[in-house]
Amino acid sequence: MAQDGWGAPRIHAELTKLGFIASEVTVSRYIPRLTEADSAHIVAGARSAVAP
């Protein structure tokens, strides 16, 4: 998530534009964390999607 630009600061800014009041810390608490197992699963899925 960190590489795609949709971290807590950007999500907080978008929520603020929509009129929601929440701190950036609160937003960051609800962002799912990517674990090593998740990243390995994503890489394996990407490899199988590209392979014929």
Residue-level pLDDT, tens digit, the chain, 52 residues: 445 778 889 999 999 999 999 999 999 998 887 666 666 666 666 566 555 5
- Three-class secondary structure of residue 21 per DSSP: coil
**What span, in angstroms and rounded, lies between the C-alpha atoms of 29 and 38?**
18
H helices of 1-52, where? 8-17, 24-29, 36-50
Domain count, the chain: 1
**Cα 30–Cα 36–Cα 42 angle in degrees, nearest 5:** 85
Whether 3 maps to a domain, the answer reads no
**What span, in angstroms and rounded, lies between the C-alpha atoms of 29 and 46?**
28
Structure tokens given for 45: 């899925």
**In terms of residue numbers, what domain contains 27?**
8-50
Whether 1 maps to a domain, the answer reads no
